[in-house]
Chains A and B, each alone.
Chain A
C-alpha cells in the first residue's frame, strides 16, 4: 500500500491567497484526520471524518478554514484567505476507526504564508 498521500508537500503563498491541501487516505480506512503542527502549539487535531462525515470540527481555528471529504478516497483542507500565522505543517492521517485504531500519518504539507 502507498500509505496516506498528501499534496502538495510544500506550499509557499502570499497572505490573502486561497490554499488547498489534499489528502488520499489508505484504502479501506473509514476515519480521516487533519492535524496542524507548529513549534508553539504542537500537534493539534483540526477535524476528523468518519465514513466521509465530519464528526468533530472543534479544532478548526476559524471560519477561514474548511474541510471536505466528498468520497472515501479524497479529502481537502482549504484556507481562505490565508494569513502568516497559518504557516505550519499540516498532516492528514487515516485509520480503520476512531479511538482504538492506530493512525497512519501522511508525509505532511509544509505551508508558508508570507
Chain B
C-alpha cells in the first residue's frame, strides 16, 4: 500500500540546536500536513502545504514541500524544551482519498 516514510525516527538535541525531520513518498502527494504530539497528548495540526516548492514559516518552524511534491521537511531553529514531542507528517497520495501518516520523529531537547 501507499507509504509515507519519515526520518529520523528519534533525535535528541541540546537546547538551542537546530532540528530537521524529513518526509518522503514514492508517489506524488496532493498535499502534506504536519502534526505535533506532546508526550501523553494527542496529535495537533500545525500546517498544510499544497503547492510545489511551497515554504511556510511559523516562528522558529519552517516547513517545505518539494518541487516534485514527493517530499517535505520541518526545520526548527534554536530548539527549546517546549519543542519536545513527536512530529508527524501526513500526505495524501494523488488518487487516494485519505491521508497517510508517517511514523513520526520523536524529538528530545536537553536543557
User: How many angstroms between the C-alpha atoms of A90 and B92 in the bound complex?
Assistant: 22
At the interface, yes or no: A98 with Cβ under 8 Å from chain B? yes
Q: Measured between C-beta atoms, what is the minimum distance from B90 to chain A in Å?
A: 8
Q: Measured between C-beta atoms, what is the minimum distance from B99 to chain A in Å?
A: 6
Q: Give the contacting residue for B92; candidates A100, A105, A106; CB below 8 A.
A: A100
At the interface, yes or no: A55 with Cβ under 8 Å from chain B? yes
A43 near B97 with CB under 8 A, answer no
Chain B residues in 8 Å Cβ range of A102: 33, 45, 48
At the interface, yes or no: B98 with Cβ under 8 Å from chain A? yes
Q: Which B positions have Cβ atoms within 8 angstroms of A?
A: 30-31, 33, 35, 41-45, 48, 50, 88, 92, 96-99, 101, 103-104
A103 near B92 with CB under 8 A, answer no
13 additional A-B pairs beyond A42-B101, A91-B42, A108-B42, beta carbons within 8 Å, are A42-B103, A43-B103, A56-B97, A91-B43, A99-B96, A100-B48, A102-B33, A102-B45, A103-B43, A103-B99, A104-B45, A105-B42, A105-B44
Known: A100-B31, A102-B45. A56 touches B98 (CB 8 A): yes
A43 near B30 with CB under 8 A, answer no
Chain A residues in 8 Å Cβ range of B98: 45, 48, 55-56, 98-99
Q: Measured between C-beta atoms, what is the minimum distance from A19 to chain B in Å?
A: 19
User: How many angstroms between the C-alpha atoms of A48 and B96 in the bound complex?
Assistant: 14
Q: Which A positions have Cβ atoms within 8 angstroms of B?
A: 42-43, 45, 48, 55-56, 91, 93, 98-100, 102-108
Question: Which B residue sits closest to A97, measured CB to CB?
Answer: B97
A103 near B88 with CB under 8 A, answer no
User: How many angstroms between the C-alpha atoms of A48 and B35 in the bound complex?
Assistant: 19
Q: Measured between C-beta atoms, what is the minimum distance from B52 to chain A in Å?
A: 16
Question: Which B residue sits closest to A48, measured CB to CB?
Answer: B98
Counting from the closest, the 6 A-B pairs by CB-CB distance are A102-B45, A105-B42, A42-B103, A99-B92, A105-B43, A43-B101
Q: Which of B44, B101, B104 has the most CB of A within 10 A?
A: B101
Chain A residues in 8 Å Cβ range of B103: 42-43
Chain B residues in 8 Å Cβ range of A107: 41-42
